[in-house]
Amino acid sequence: MSAPAIPGIERVLFTEEQIEARLCEVAAEISRNYAGRTVKLVGVLKGSVFFLTALARHIEVPLKIDFLGISSFSNKSGSPGVVRIAKDLDESIEGDDVILVEDIVDTGFTLRYLLQNLAGRAPNSLAVCTFLDRNSRRIVQVPVDYRCFEIPDRFVVGFGLDYNQLYRNLGYVAVMKPDKG
Ligand code: IMP
Ligand code: MG
């Protein structure tokens, strides 16, 4: 794919075709690991929506979905601060085989909070599947069971990821120009 003519975007990191191929691999892995069970995908709004629905279409075990929404605040020094649930799940996850689906794991603060919160609701199992992983910026160690792509230390958009709420609908993942991210 040639460079998209969108201001602020530097280059394509993963094309639609690359994403689709990788989603199939991860979905096959999940289908194997959860054979004979029903899996519940829990998506984090809004970034994971595009990834979750695309992934779900390739998973071959019975599947339920639910979503939660979070707000995160940074303190003045820019370090990640408080995460809280702004919209809770519609249903209980007690006894469920849950896979928490994230758009990107960066510092790990968001994921740590969500895992602690969900673990307290007594699921039968709790795993993590992230579309992107920027391990180089990790501050707190969190378990990631399934990841589609490891990415460099650059701000990215597309396939659910936003910059000021824009670009979520791009079918590919792109790197923002440095002054935009
Ligand atoms: P963490 O708590 O630092 O791991 O935060 C992860 C969250 O930050 C993700 O769920 C995204 O909402 C956001 N985020 C981190 N990096 C990017 C990026 O490159 N593009 C868009 N959103 C990002
Ligand atoms: Mg997010």
Q: How many domains does the chain have?
A: 1
Domain assignment present for 93 = yes
Could you report the per-residue pLDDT of 39-80, keeping only the tens digit for each?
999 999 999 999 999 999 999 999 999 999 999 876 555 556
Taking the C-alpha atoms of residue 144 and residue 100, their distance in angstroms, rounded to an integer, is 10
Of the candidates 96, 97, 106, 133, the residue annotated as catalytic is 106
Which of 72, 70, 81 is CA-nearest to residue 45?
70
Q: What pLDDT does 17 receive?
A: 98
pLDDT at residue number 13: 98
pLDDT digits (tens, 9 = 90+) for 73-111: 765 555 566 899 999 999 999 999 999 999 999 999 999
Does residue 163 form part of some domain?
no
- Would you tell me how many other CB atoms lie within 10 Å of the CB of residue 89? 17
- Please, what is the average pLDDT of the chain? 94
**Its pTM surpasses 0.75:** yes
Q: How far is the CA of 29 from the centre of ligand 2 (A)?
A: 23
Closest ligand (CA of 111): 1
Active site residue 106: yes
Q: Residue 127 domain-assigned?
A: yes
Rounded average pLDDT over 24-44: 98
